[in-house]
Amino acid sequence: MSPEERKVIFASSLGTVFEWYDFYLYGSLAAIIAKQFFSGLDAGSAFIFALLAFAAGFIVRPFGAIVFGRLGDMIGRKYTFLVTILIMGLSTFVVGILPNYATIGVAAPVILIILRLLQGLALGGEYGGAATYVAEHAPHGKRGAYTSWIQTTATLGLFLSLLVILGVRTATGEAAFADWAWRIPFLVSIVLLGVSVWIRLTLNESPAFQKMKAEGKHSKAPLTESFGQWKNLKIVILALIGLTAGQAVVWYTGQFYALFFLTQQLKVDAVTANLLIAAALLIGTPFFVIFGSLSDRIGRKPIIMAGCLLAVLTYFPVFQALTKAANPDLYAAQQQSHVVVVADPGECSFQFNPTGTVKFTSSCDIAKQVLAASSVSYDNEVAPAGTPAVIKVGDKVIQGYSAKGITADEVKAKDAEFKKAVADTLKEAGYPAKADPAKMNKIMMVIILAYLVILVTMVYGPIAAMLVELFPTRIRYTSMSLPYHIGNGWFGGLLPTTAFAIVAQTGNMYNGLWYPIIIAAMTLVIGTLFVRETKDVDIYAND
């Protein structure tokens, strides 16, 4: 590797690390942001709504891919991803100074979502540019190894965000961090922005793009060529459903969903959960380069498909093992005193209230809300029509109540009595209020979390090289960016929200895993049957 190639990889990767750091700060602080900006809602809905705002940044990523991909194919890779990092860094800094809901009311979440949209647009243009730029500097037979460094950046950005959060949290204390110090990691991004811009200004344009432009072969209508011609559009579609959709859900399950599962479902304190995830990321990150380099020898496709297959086969047992290691009291209680809600299905509505205006009044909804507030996993059983819901905890039965047609004072009294009965029964059955740090098997937790990260590296390490090799230079930035960001922005970015909505509706904390398993299985089948291997492709042959 020449000094110039090392500089290209280092500069592209470092800037992209900072951009991912900015983007993932929000996800790492979703629970605190829910309280700061969505405090007008009940706790469960506020958290899911905060995840929806998190997802907003992912929803617009494909539009960023279209806008900046077009610019990158027309005016060059270097200047396009200079613009994207400026938008990302400034948007993140503004989150750090944005007044909360208590100060400016509904304007706070509205502005927050606008900033998330700007971040998503910027990221939509960033990744394709960095991956294309590095790949076009890489010699034949080394593209997997070179671009795998770009693949580490999303994980390193997440790792950096976790470290900064932990450092600030430890220095200021939990109360101060939840109140105001959570803003510091966002404000720090202005320094990272300055460093990133300075580094990227020192880079030269991609030699492949320079050569193509000098010969007058660059595309004047990259959107039309990429998506208006079936021979290229069919490859874009296959890249989406046969590669990036499955890669995305494995990525977000192994890193973000695992973190949320620890804190929300297993009741592990945030500091411990972040430390354990950080340790797993530290162990797993070198495998991006290992699998990227391996893909230069045995192919990209076998490694990506193997990662999807392992995810499909092992997610349920792995997350059950994580429950046993992180909160053994909860695991034991689930085995010995199973919780069931017996209710008339006609009384049960969707357990998500994003506006805070819906009041759950049926006995079914009230019972499920009380269990959800305690993060208790339960199954559903059908009761005869018209009968009030009951909660079974092992062999104990708690009679539910309906808030329909009674006064507010009566509702308050019944609610307090019902919640106390549920809490007392759960306590007797061994359901813990939170995970006991003394009983956690932290070594096993790190092993399990590291395994999930290694699955991430299998599907993600080789994918940049494969996407670059699928498309010609003249429309590469545009063509590869769109399937990547639909896959990661929509299929992956919506995973935490979708999974927790499934959990909220079904009551079973493992049911959210069906979403990544089904998507990964789809990619496994379609990718195996229809996506071609690309490791020996000459990326200039179609130019």
- Angle in degrees, 0-180, between the axes of helices 514-530 and 300-326, rounded to the nearest 10: 170
- Ranges of each domain in the chain: 3-327+437-530, 332-428
Q: Which contacts (CB < 8 Å, 24+ apart) does range 506-512 have? A: 506/380, 507/341, 507/368, 507/371, 507/372, 507/377, 507/378, 507/379, 507/380, 508/377, 508/378, 508/379, 509/261, 509/265, 509/375, 509/377, 510/316, 510/319, 510/320, 510/377, 512/257
> Tokens representing 104?
């400016």
Of 522, 531, 533, 514, the closest CA to residue 246 belongs to 522
pLDDT for residue 303: 97
Instruction: Please work out, in degrees rounded to the nearest 5, the angle formed at the alpha carbon of residue 90 by the alpha carbons of 102 and 124.
Output: 105
pLDDT digits (tens, 9 = 90+) for 419-450: 899 989 999 998 898 899 999 999 999 999 99
Say if CB 95 and CB 35 are below 8 A apart. Answer: no
pLDDT digits (tens, 9 = 90+) for 248-261: 999 989 988 998 89
pLDDT digits (tens, 9 = 90+) for 21-64: 876 787 778 778 878 887 766 666 676 677 677 777 778 888 88
CATH architecture of 332-428: 3-Layer(aba) Sandwich (3.40)
Residue 263 has pLDDT above 80, yes or no: yes
Confidence band, pLDDT 50/70/90 cuts, at residue 405: confident
pLDDT digits (tens, 9 = 90+) for 147-179: 898 888 877 887 888 889 889 999 999 899 989
pLDDT for residue 522: 97
- Residue 112 to residue 300: CA distance in whole angstroms: 39
pLDDT digits (tens, 9 = 90+) for 521-538: 999 999 999 999 988 887
pLDDT digits (tens, 9 = 90+) for 270-319: 889 988 998 998 899 899 999 999 999 999 999 999 999 999 999 999 99
Burial string for 317-348 (b: 16+ CB within 10 Å, else e) reads ebbebbbbbbbbbbbebbeebebbbbbbeebb
Q: Under CATH, what is the fold of the domain 3-327+437-530?
A: Growth Hormone; Chain: A; (1.20.1250)
pLDDT for residue 162: 82
User: What integer is the mean pLDDT of 77-101?
Assistant: 85
Confidence band, pLDDT 50/70/90 cuts, at residue 357: very low
Residue 214 has pLDDT above 80, yes or no: no
Percent of the chain with pLDDT over 70: 92
User: What integer is the mean pLDDT of 90-114?
Assistant: 87
Q: Whole-structure pTM over 0.85, yes or no?
A: no
Confidence band, pLDDT 50/70/90 cuts, at residue 393: very high
Question: In residues, how long is the chain?
Answer: 543
CA dihedral 80, 81, 85, 88 (to 10 degrees): 70
Residue 432 sits at φ, ψ, to 5 deg, of -80, 150
Mean pLDDT for all residues in the chain: 85
Residue 203 has pLDDT above 50, yes or no: yes
pLDDT for residue 209: 66
- Residue 337 to residue 429: CA distance in whole angstroms: 6
Residue 356 has pLDDT above 60, yes or no: no
pLDDT for residue 441: 96
Q: Same topology for domains 3-327+437-530 and 332-428, yes or no?
A: no
Confidence band, pLDDT 50/70/90 cuts, at residue 1: low
pLDDT for residue 106: 79
Q: In the β-sheet with 339-343, what is the strand arrangement from edge to edge?
A: 379-382, 339-343, 390-393, 396-399
Say if CB 467 and CB 239 are below 8 A apart. Answer: yes
User: What integer is the mean pLDDT of 223-246?
Assistant: 89
Residue 512 has pLDDT above 60, yes or no: yes
Say if CB 148 and CB 128 are below 8 A apart. Answer: no
